[in-house]
């Protein structure tokens, strides 16, 4: 099949977590023998920020890790829609211009043979529904939502059986344990500060427990304002700045453990959706302790694949145990790796996508799509 994916950026992962999963799943589609094309608008916000901060060298790790992946920038929507008219599958990520969604949908309604899918990996359908309703999806065949609670929102909007759950996953061609174990020390946290969506949680479940447990803490990420930098300094954490996602496995391999601190909105309004760092960390074999979140879909085995802390004091106890107990770290590493290998690789998601496309192409689902478009 010929698959066209419209992304915000493939090359840049600067504050763009979808690039992690997208790179892995497109590479798996290529490995299955499919033709893959990625398109991104010229001058994307993520890429412009990356180049501003790091220059062209900021793209080196992506190019080294993914030599088989490229994306084509475009400026004219009509021209790029025309280029993809003969594709078999077209997927539009939600971080794109609503005008592009309208143009692709109009082409589909006019008889384009591709299966057209909208890929949502954010909480805006709940936090900013009016913003999401700017997307004219009437010509789309289906929704790919990265969690059941988000898919349920689209079902409530009338998508019914054509709203599918398509979780993120680990690119295990890149995210895997080191071939040779070296010295591991301290904690690592890779994540962006963002818009204060979890600033209190970071103090409660990461900064304070790390200091109390006597573990050095390295922080990687972007969009840290001066107030956040001062907070890190107050807790003795070392802010390392941006790290390309392709470097994360090497960084994980240098540390004893990591911590999952989900954004507040996912905990309260879209339970069951972890950050992609959970998949990536477990795939690298680094022990993980998590702040509270409800694994509503049973993706993992809390307490077996990772430790779960109900409050800051329990997180401190977990971190002390991870520092002192080699057997605990080994067991968490083994169990987490097993769960990723069994259920949560980008190869799994590539096959799930093929199954979704096949389901939408059955006569019954085709009829549903035509009725919705009408």
Taking the whole predicted model, whether its pTM rises above 0.85 is answered as yes
Cβ proximity of 157 and 129 under 8 Å: no
**C-alpha neighbours within 13 Å on the C-beta side of residue 334:** 6
Q: What is the pLDDT of residue 161?
A: 96
Q: What is the pLDDT of residue 195?
A: 77
Residues 61-91 have pLDDT tens digits of 999 999 999 999 999 999 999 999 999 999 9
Q: What is the pLDDT of residue 96?
A: 97
**197 pLDDT above the threshold of 90:** no
Q: How far apart are CA 150 and CA 122, in angstroms?
A: 9
Closest CA to 252 of 166, 192, 190, 210: 190
2-169+346-373 topology per CATH? Rossmann fold (3.40.50)
Identify the band that residue 363 occupies on the pLDDT scale cut at 50, 70 and 90: confident
Identify the band that residue 369 occupies on the pLDDT scale cut at 50, 70 and 90: low
Instruction: Specify the range with the lowest mean pLDDT, choosing from 171-185, 259-273, 285-299.
Output: 259-273
Taking residues 238-254, what's their average pLDDT?
Answer: 98
Q: Which secondary-structure segment (H or E) carries 257?
A: strand 257-260
Taking residues 257-270, what's their average pLDDT?
Answer: 92
Q: At which residue do the structure tokens 């909208």 appear?
A: 118
Q: What is the pLDDT of residue 194?
A: 78
Cβ proximity of 251 and 220 under 8 Å: yes
Looking at the structure, give the CATH architecture of the domain made up of residues 187-343: 3-Layer(aba) Sandwich (3.40)
Residues 130-177 have pLDDT tens digits of 999 999 999 999 999 999 999 999 999 999 999 999 999 999 999 999
Q: How far apart are CA 275 and CA 328, in angstroms?
A: 23
Q: Which secondary-structure segment (H or E) carries 239?
A: strand 238-241
Q: At which residue do the structure tokens 């019914």 appear?
A: 160
Alpha helices in 155-236, H assignment, sequence order:
199-202, 208-213, 226-235
User: How many CB atoms sit inside 10 A of residue 112's CB?
Assistant: 19
Taking residues 264-289, what's their average pLDDT?
Answer: 94
Residues 29-69 have pLDDT tens digits of 999 999 999 999 999 999 999 999 999 999 999 999 999 99
> What percent of the chain has pLDDT above 70?
97
Angle in degrees, CA 263, 269, 273, rounded to 5: 60
Cβ proximity of 7 and 328 under 8 Å: no
Chain centre to alpha carbon of residue 308: 21
Q: What stretch(es) of the chain map to CATH 3.40.50.2000?
A: 2-169+346-373, 187-343
Buried b (16+ CB within 10 A) or exposed e, 199-220: bebbbbbbbbbbbbbebebbbb
Neighbouring residues of 56: CB distance < 8 A, sequence distance ≥ 6: none
User: How many CB atoms sit inside 10 A of residue 371's CB?
Assistant: 8
Average pLDDT along the chain: 96
Closest CA to 15 of 61, 47, 59, 56: 47
């Amino acid at each position: 099949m010929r698959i066209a994916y419209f992304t915000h950026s493939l090359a840049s992962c600067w504050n763009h977590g979808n690039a992690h999963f997208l790179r892995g799943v497109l590479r798996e589609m290529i490995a299955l023998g499919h033709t893959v094309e990625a398109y991104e608008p010229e001058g994307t916000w993520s890429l412009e920020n990356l180049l501003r901060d790091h220059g062209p060298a900021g793209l080196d790790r992506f190019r080294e890790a993914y030599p088989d992946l490229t994306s084509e920038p475009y400026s004219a929507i009509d021209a790029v829609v025309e280029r993809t008219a003969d594709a078999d599958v077209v997927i539009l990520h939600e971080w794109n211009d609503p005008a592009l969604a309208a143009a692709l949908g109009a082409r589909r309604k006019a008889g384009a043979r591709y299966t057209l899918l909208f890929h949502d990996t954010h909480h805006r359908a709940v936090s900013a529904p009016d913003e999401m309703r700017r997307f004219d999806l009437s010509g789309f065949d289906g929704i790919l939502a990265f969690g059941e609670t988000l898919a349920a929102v689209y079902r409530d909007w009338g998508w019914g059986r054509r709203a599918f759950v398509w979780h993120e996953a680990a690119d295990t061609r890149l995210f895997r344990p080191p071939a040779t174990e070296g010295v591991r020390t301290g904690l690592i946290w890779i994540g962006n500060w963002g818009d204060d969506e979890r600033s209190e949680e970071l103090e409660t479940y990461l900064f304070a427990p790390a200091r109390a447990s006597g573990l050095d803490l390295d922080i990687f990420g972007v969009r840290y304002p001066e107030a956040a930098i001062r907070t890190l300094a107050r807790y003795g954490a070392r802010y390392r700045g941006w790290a390309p996602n392709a470097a994360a496995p090497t960084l994980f391999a240098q540390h004893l453990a990591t911590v999952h601190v989900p954004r507040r909105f996912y905990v309260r309004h879209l339970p069951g959706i972890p950050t992609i760092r959970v998949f990536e960390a477990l795939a690298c074999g680094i022990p993980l302790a998590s702040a509270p979140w409800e694994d509503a879909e049973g993706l993992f085995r809390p307490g077996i694949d990772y430790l779960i802390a109900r409050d800051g004091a329990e997180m401190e106890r977990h971190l002390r145990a991870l520092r002192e107990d080699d057997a605990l770290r080994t067991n968490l590493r083994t169990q987490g790796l097993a769960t990723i290998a069994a259920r949560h690789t980008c190869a799994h998601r590539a096959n799930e996508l093929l199954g979704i496309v096949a389901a939408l192409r059955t006569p019954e689902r085709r009829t549903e799509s035509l009725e919705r478009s009408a």
